[in-house]
Amino acid sequence: MLRDVRAGQATWAIPQRLSAKTTYWQGTTGWPRPDQAFEDASTGASLAIEFKPPGHERSEYVRGLGQVITYLEAFEFGVLVVPRFSKDGFEISTYLAKLLGNHIKPQLPLAVLEYQGNPGQLSTRLPLCMRSGTVPQIPKRGTGKRNVFWAYWRDLSQHELYLLLRLIDTGDGTFDSAFRDFWHNYRLQGKTLTWEGKARKPAKSVKYYESERTNSRLSLRHLQLIDSNGHLTQAGYDLLRHGNIYGSDSMSFKLLLGHQILTVGRHIELIFWVEDMQRELPRERKVSSQEFLSALDEELEKAGVIGSAPKGKAKATFIRDEPKLWNKLGLLKMHNKKSYFFPYEGFRFDWRSCVEMVNYK
């Protein structure tokens, strides 16, 4: 869909609003949260997408229509992607397009796209129309922050994450208060643990407090473990309860955390993208890990998945910490004892482990 929009070939879109400068965006982290989202910073347009997989009853697809309508509170446009037929053979895409186009509100800025078999081959059943009334503003982004579709993660280990969840629960119920406790009583004292369960070196200075607090908050927020007010969500309580029962050093806790990172945090989408892209990159772009990561960045930017790299950025490439996290979760195979990068190839994913984590409940 994004490729067609950027090429001016999306029959369902409005080129004056969604132009060649449209990019992929994670959208909002709260509720309601679309499956995917696009934005065009040049026009101010925003688009929310609700995707429904095949094999469901009619009622599931009707609910999808209700979901995509709620996205219009924060997005200018909405698109519902459904199969042509429901489980019982009913032509559900035609029904929804007719219902929306004739009976709900003709000027509602929603489109209905259908697929048969392959969701990558879409047909337009109902194109977008211009919104009548006030166009909502795109939800604001934090200044100076990189915005991508996958969850932000930096230095937290599974032990430190569990400790933060526990401090939120036993404290006043907010992340900021819990992080102050975490920082002063654990992080500065060298009482936190790495992924391997070894004592982490104490923080060097209090000047790192704000950056570590921001990094940790973003990780918990993007995984929907805390809400916008820093309170534990149901998913946060579930992960905390799992840690209380099995321990943060258990494989069960690690699997549940990995499930949240891959699914809610959308890292599995990034892994699929990297797997496909590394096959297409020329051999000379995979001679070293740094060259390989730079090539991935260029392809991400070319596809509209990330914006242009900011000047004076703190790290050489956008994708840097993500492979480190995948390695800690056991999702990468090792080239040798020190490296998971395979020269002239890229990364080798342990797909058995990926599938186990995605399906873990």
The pLDDT of 284-307, averaged and rounded, is 88
Q: What is the pLDDT of residues 9-26, one digit of tens each?
A: 999 999 999 999 898 875
Q: What is the dihedral of CA 273, 276, 278, 280, to 10 degrees?
A: -130
- How much is the pLDDT for 100? 87
pLDDT band at 217 (very low <50, low <70, confident <90, very high): very high
- How much is the pLDDT for 118? 87
What pTM value is reported for the model? 0.78
Q: Say if residue 311 is exposed, middle or buried (CB neighbours under 10 Å; 0-12, 13-18, 19+).
A: exposed
pLDDT band at 146 (very low <50, low <70, confident <90, very high): very low
The pLDDT of 177-194, averaged and rounded, is 95
pLDDT at 358 over 90: yes
Q: What single-letter DSSP state applies at residue 36?
A: E
pLDDT at 214 over 70: yes
CATH of domain 2-126: 3.40.1350
Q: How far apart are the first and last CA of the chain?
A: 31
Least confident of 66-75, 97-106, 275-284: 97-106
- How much is the pLDDT for 307? 63
- How much is the pLDDT for 160? 97
- How much is the pLDDT for 29? 57
pLDDT band at 142 (very low <50, low <70, confident <90, very high): very low
The pLDDT of 86-100, averaged and rounded, is 93
Query: Mean pLDDT, the chain, as a whole number?
Result: 89
What token pair was written down for 8? 């001016």
For residues 9 and 175, what is the distance between their CA atoms, to the nearest angstrom?
A: 45
Q: What is the pLDDT of residues 314-328, one digit of tens each?
A: 567 788 899 999 999
pLDDT at 157 over 90: yes
Q: Is the bond preceding residue 127 a cis peptide, omega within 30 degrees?
A: no
pLDDT at 2 over 50: yes
- How much is the pLDDT for 27? 54
- How much is the pLDDT for 204? 80
Q: Which residues contact 319 (CB under 8 A, 6 or more apart)?
A: 270, 274, 293, 296, 297, 300
What token pair was written down for 42? 């040049």
DSSP-derived secondary structure for 156-197: --HHHHHHHHHHHHHTTS-HHHHHHHHIIIIITTT--B-TTS
The pLDDT of 244-262, averaged and rounded, is 96
- How much is the pLDDT for 286? 95
Q: Is the dihedral of CA 201, 206, 211, 213 positive or negative?
A: positive
- How much is the pLDDT for 308? 61
- How much is the pLDDT for 143? 34
Give me the phi and psi of 114, to 5 degrees please. -120, 160
pLDDT band at 155 (very low <50, low <70, confident <90, very high): confident
- How much is the pLDDT for 10? 94
- How much is the pLDDT for 300? 85
- How much is the pLDDT for 141? 46
- How much is the pLDDT for 138? 60
Residue 85 neighbours by CB distance under 10 Å: 17
For residues 18 and 5, what is the distance between their CA atoms, to the nearest angstrom?
A: 7
Alpha-helical runs (H) found in the chain: 2-6, 58-70, 92-98, 158-170, 175-182, 209-222, 234-246, 251-262, 267-280, 289-302, 321-328, 351-358
pLDDT band at 164 (very low <50, low <70, confident <90, very high): very high
pLDDT at 161 over 50: yes
Which of 306, 335, 303 lies closest to 320 in space, CA to CA? 306
- How much is the pLDDT for 186? 95
pLDDT at 339 over 70: yes
195, 235 contact by CB (below 8 A): no
